[in-house]
Amino acid sequence: MDLDFVCSHAGRPAAALTRRDIARALLAVPSGVALVALPDLRREMLAAGNPLSVTFWESAKQTLSAIEAGIATIGDVQRWIEATGSEPILLTPSYFVWPEEDERGPVAEEMHYLFVRFLEERIAAGEIDPDALAQGDGVARQAYEALQERWLTSPLPDGRVPGQAVSDEQDDELFAAWDEEEAYALAELNRILADLPHRPQLPAADLAAACVRLREVLALPGYPGNVLRACAGLEGVPLADDDVELWLAVAAGIAGPVSDLADEEDEDEFGDLHAPLSHEDSVLASLCAIHHADWLAAVAALARLGPGVLASPERIARLVAESEDIDVDLDDPDDLDTTETLFAPVTALWGHLGIVDADEVLTPLGWWGLPEALKRAWATPED
């Protein structure tokens, strides 16, 4: 490792290198190699007319030595590189987090670049004191964090707010990945159903009886009505007159909840982050934590086996573990227990729709309706 390596790594000539450039290059090689190269690198920077400061070089030696000794934490290293004065802090006071370098989209990459250049300008203007940061000056650190917070929340000349622009891009990427996963799961479900010898007809009498009970449950306050209304997005919305439409909307909502619970009356309790989750919130959290692959495996297996098969949480966990429709390895008892735990509220809610009976056995209505509900949950508006 030498000055040429650092210049190549930073994409800058030696005279323009910053503390951040040096720190990132030092961390890009094994700590032992960086320690050996440090004295020569310091002399080369001096010869190039860009000596940096004694405080920086001492902090570099201390950090690299701690890494080599195995006593430096990830936080220690992050704090050191942030102390260079032009490294965006990993977590701001308002909990903004930059994406990992290899996971940044075009917007995040652009904003990060603009931000680093902004911080370099502030160092040149004397508004940021890297030596004070390296020495652990609390006042300097607070000012540094406040400066970063202001930049992230202030509009650029083109009107974009950096922090919001990055968050929006991450949300778009997340939604796109989710949509892609749903589309793939839907295609697999349709393929599996097409290969079955036959699919059952709608059991009209069973559906009518189930919807009488379902409408009663949906009209009641508290669990399970509030959870089922939230899953289907029916809070404050008139119920569909058509039994098929209502039943499929609620059944699909269990596989893909479309809204949260209605606001709690006690706002203080609702805002207490340390308060335990209510039963309803725990149920919704479990539903949202079930992967598309697990839903696919469970419903495909039940569609193949037909009515009369046990559909308890334990049985579903085993069906998922043994499924040939998905690539999953649930041999670990802890994984089986997790799947069983997540599906426990599912089978309980299924009972209110007549998908399973009191003994958690799949009914003819469930045999017909589960695949249809899953297709509805994963379908796009165009579908």
How many residues does this entry show for the chain?
383
Angle of CA points 166, 231, 339, to nearest 5°: 85
The model carries a pTM of: 0.69
What angle separates helix 333-353 from helix 313-322, to the nearest 10 degrees? 120
Segments of the chain with pLDDT less than 50: 264-271, 273
Domain layout of the chain by residue ranges: 3-163, 196-378
The pLDDT of residue 276 is 67
The pLDDT of residue 163 is 93
The pLDDT of residue 327 is 74
d(CA 288, CA 87): 36
The pLDDT of residue 179 is 87
The pLDDT of residue 91 is 84
The pLDDT of residue 50 is 95
The pLDDT of residue 218 is 95
| CB within 8 Å of 2: residues ≥ 6 apart | 37, 40, 41, 44
